[in-house]
Structure 1
């Protein structure tokens, strides 16, 4: 029984996107055809892959191609493919909604976009190029049938926020998208998308490298002047990664990147690699110019495309690129793998592992070259992808040194310009043995921390580490060029050997107070001691050298890990009036309750100063209010 025509509404975010398209946010409308051809090419790749995997699939693969059909009278342009096609559910999920895991993020960024250029960036990031059809069309009709299924689906929309669905009984395998073009602008012939020359120009500019034939019916005149029509392939179909540098232009590389990434921006860097010998492969990799919206989402897809002897095998081949380089896009074409290779086999394949190692080293060396030859481009790279790359310090011990050499960090040396570790080491003071750092939620929190006081006073540079991953790698990476990493919020610091004698004398003078405070605050701290890192604050809280930081403790608990509570150390500034006054009051035998309240306030202030959370804020506030009232 036939299902009647059904009218549905687009998802809210899709409706907003359609409005952007209908009102033409792009200055270059030609790119709509690139997007449709790219989608068609993906469908052909998927069909060929599916027939390798499923030998029983009823699909015609005898002449896979893309075809452009024009009706100049009706002003329609149709892009057809005989690829994998879509089921009815596919149409609803893929065309009616936008990247479902990112819809809220998409809407938020869409609202923040202040201009057309910013909106254009978003369209590419969220992979919704099909909607670009509405830049040039008043109505779009799509007819599709998934390979192996009997019934097709007809989808139609005018971009007004709704679309219709109905069965298409005689639909051929694959997908056709028919654009009912907007009225022709007689003053601007450059946008006549029914013109043969225009379609050829767009295909040759944006889609020449597509490995499937793109066909167009063209007019020909014979020697007698008679006009005939014949179908012509209008793209070269030569894989871009197989061409020599002399055969490929920078513009072609950029368009190929946009084709495989569905990004509307140019890549930041292009990497071409060819390996010959016992194991041959070619690779064409790209570093994007901006981070994708889902860079840190668990459900994201990653990896490069894998081909074997020019035959598409899989998208998102994770085995060829590690997690920390998940933003790298591109193609790897191997000559010696089986066409029936699976993801499971890839994980164990020795050749894949060798390719992966070489690809990773090439990406890292490219970034290092970028550092020295194009600092601005490198700054963009690190701003967009640095937090992801630093994950490799934990997972890729083989390349840890290379990652440290391309890393940049904010520091107290220059608030506006990150520093490399090499630059930090070159600026180290005579006799300085450690690379000092502090982790925290933000630069302002770290810079205002009591832990920074002595380092600032004595002119020691401190790395300011605010990415969540920083909490983890600093405990796993012991050193850089023989200089050990040292947290200024952990362990004991010794910034001035001449102060040692004075510190020993102070320890004797404060011994009784320190012992009493350690007992009094035993539920919160494991030790109270004097500090050499404070100059103006009365106290701070530090961890032992191998303790988890409070932030890391929270991260593990958020992930469901059971972590025992870590007691830390309270350090006192022996020169601060509050501490010297507390010492005198203790020596004079002041009321135990009064002294205890002061100890609690001292600990609470130190905890708040580092951005920590009080276990009982109401109790702390009451103590503070009572103490302030007594001073009036």
Structure 2
């Protein structure tokens, strides 16, 4: 079959250029990204095989294999997971079907030397391979199909997709033709170090085999058998005291496909009427697609350590869509239906606890340095909960931060109430398109005359939640633009002095 030559989608080319030039000092993460993809593929096959056991065939032990050939400068990462057909290869490796990509690229390209954390907001994934390789060959056979496909690219001139001459093994094999300055990634101990640093928690065995160099006289005649390198096992099932901060961090990088360090984490096991374990992370940097309606939720659902899905809206409300992690249930069935996931009582009960735990953790973080920077990034999203989640409204109001006419920093509603003037019964505010414009608004004049502090709301979401909330701890939220505003009872600068 003749190769089909296809150009990369324009935005893929820009991503490749950005990744190759900006992540050079961090390029060992290419292996983390490829191993993470392989792990996801194994997870998907394990779940699919619950209803279609024939997909596994005789190859039932899911694993990830890494082979290094120093003489040929080849590094191969292979999994026996779900695999991809021709259309999936083109869609997953040749295009970026995510809104907001162009805006992200414009922001990233404006930075002279690139920003690893900014790029991490986007997610590097497969394209990290081109940091170390000048040619990448992907052979794939989808589970249940007989045809294997070859995807080949140099990362510059597009890619070719063709039918492989022979039927290869199920899954995906990624072969990297390493650049001259990337030969360090063919060394056994270097590979072991990277795997243990970034991928030790991967639940599937990672097997490593390094072929001896032809001129290595001390090498054994036969290469050593592939050896398992990672500890494996589900990290969230271990006691918290046995997990280091570094292990938590790397698991977050894996599950969220992120570069930043988590701002907060929640790890607990519930026992009683329901039995489940949750390990959740709150990011420190806002994902670039946070406002994309098609953005997938970040909490992966497992049942008895078996991956089920990473697309369950019912596990987290929309206003906590940035939370990443895992929920592992002992009560759901492995063949749980989507209807049960969306509307079942078990999921609803778990969700209620997850939301409370996350908000409680944010309440603790709100007392620490760094919270205001977090709020600046995630506050507008959290405020969506003020009109969506009546049950947790009070919790959200307590962790919320707002601008006001009292200084240029942030304030809490409790702080505002403490500073209220004698005779002041309401919390006053105005809304607009920017804080700067609000500070110079003529609507503030009568409040200034009384020395009354006014909250300044400039997020579009504020127009939705303010009418819904109405009051805070018995104090009405009152817009200065309303005709019924009366400040005469407030003792302020223009009040007549009493004898």
TM-score (norm 1): 0.74
CA drift at 1:386: 0.6
Say if 2:34 and 2:77, in contact at 8 Å, map to a contact too: yes
Q: Distance in 1 between matches of 2:483 and 2:376?
A: 31
1:449 maps to 441
Could you tell me whether the CA contact under 8 Å between 1:66 and 1:81 is conserved in 2?
A: yes
- Counterpart position of 1:439: 431
Which residue does 1:588 correspond to in 2? none
| Structure 2 residue runs without a partner (length 5+) | 213-218, 495-499
Match of 2:25 in 1: 27
Structure 1: give runs of 5+ residues left out of the alignment. 186-190, 500-532, 534-632
| Residue number among 317, 320, 326 corresponding to 2:321 in the alignment | 326
Tell me if the contact between 2:315 and 2:350 (Cα under 8 Å) persists in the aligned partners. yes
For the pair 1:145 / 2:141, whether they are aligned, the reply is yes
1:227-285: CA deviation from partner (whole Å, max 9, x where unpaired)? 65122111111211111122211111111111111112211112111112232111110
Q: How does 1:474-623 map to 2 (within 5 A)?
A: 474-497=466-489
Secondary structure (helix, strand or coil) at the match of 1:101 reads coil
Shift of 1:498: 9.2
Kindly report which structure 2 residues correspond to 1:160-199, keeping only aligned pairs within 5 A, or say none.
160-168=156-164, 169-184=166-181, 192-199=184-191
Task: Provide closer, same or farther for how the CA distance between residues 14 and 161 of structure 1 changes in structure 2, counting only shifts above 3 A.
Answer: farther
Q: Which residue of 374, 395, 404 corresponds with 2:397?
A: 404
Task: Give the whole-Å Cα distance in 1 for the aligned partners of 2:21 and 2:316.
Answer: 39
Once residues 107 and 400 of structure 1 are traced to their aligned partners in structure 2, the CA distance between those partners, rounded to angstroms, is 36
Provide, for residues 369-388 of structure 1, a one-character-per-residue CA deviation record: whole Å limited to 9, x for no partner: 1111x132x11221111111
Q: Distance in 2 between matches of 1:260 and 1:334?
A: 17
Higher RCO, 1 or 2 (CA under 8 Å, sep at least 6)?
2
Provide the alpha-carbon RMSD of the alignment: 2.2
| Residue 226 of structure 2, aligned match among 223, 228, 231 | 231
Is 1:310 matched with 2:305?
yes
Per the alignment, do residues 20 and 497 of structure 1 end up closer, same or farther by CA in structure 2, a change over 3 Å counting? closer
Distance 1:25 1:93 in 2: 24
Q: Which among 353, 361, 369 is matched to residue 375 of structure 1?
A: 369
Change in Cα spacing, 1:458 to 1:61, as seen in structure 2 (3 Å) is farther
Find the aligned partners of 1:273 and 1:92 in 2 and give their Cα distance. Answer: 40
SS of 2:456's partner is strand
TM-score (structure 2 length as normaliser): 0.92
| Equivalent position of 2:379 in the other structure | 386
Aligned to 1:71: 69
- Once the two structures are TM-superposed, the CA of residue 21 in structure 1 deviates from its matched residue by 3.6
Larger of the two Rg values belongs to structure: 1
The residue aligned with 2:457 is 465
Is 1:15–1:161's contact at 8 Å kept on the other side of the alignment? no
SS at 1:77 equivalent: strand
Query: In the TM superposition, what is the alpha-carbon distance from 1:60 to its structure 2 partner?
Result: 5.1
Deviation at 1:219, TM superposition (A): 8.4
The counterpart of 2:93, out of the listed 68, 91, 95, is 95
**Corresponding residue for residue 236 of structure 2:** 241
Partner of 2:203: 211
Measure how far apart 1:110 and its partner are. 3.0
CA–CA distance in 2 between the matches of 1:350 and 1:483? 36
Provide the C-alpha distance between the structure 2 equivalents of 1:57 and 1:49, rounded to a whole number of angstroms.
10
For 1:398, what is the secondary structure of its paired residue? coil
Is contact 1:13-1:106 (8 Å) kept?
no
1:421 aligns with 2:416: no
Evaluate the alpha carbon distance shift between residue 60 and residue 35 of structure 1 in structure 2; reply closer, same or farther with a 3 A threshold. farther
Report what 2:152 is aligned to: 156
After superposition, the C-alpha distances for 1:179-219 in whole angstroms (9 at most, x for unaligned) are: 1111157xxxxx61111111111111100110001011268
Q: 1:446 to 1:226 in 2, by over 3 A?
A: closer
Residues 59 and 147 in structure 1, CA contact (< 8 A), matched pair in contact too: no
Q: For residue 436 of structure 1, give the secondary structure of its aligned residue in structure 2.
A: strand
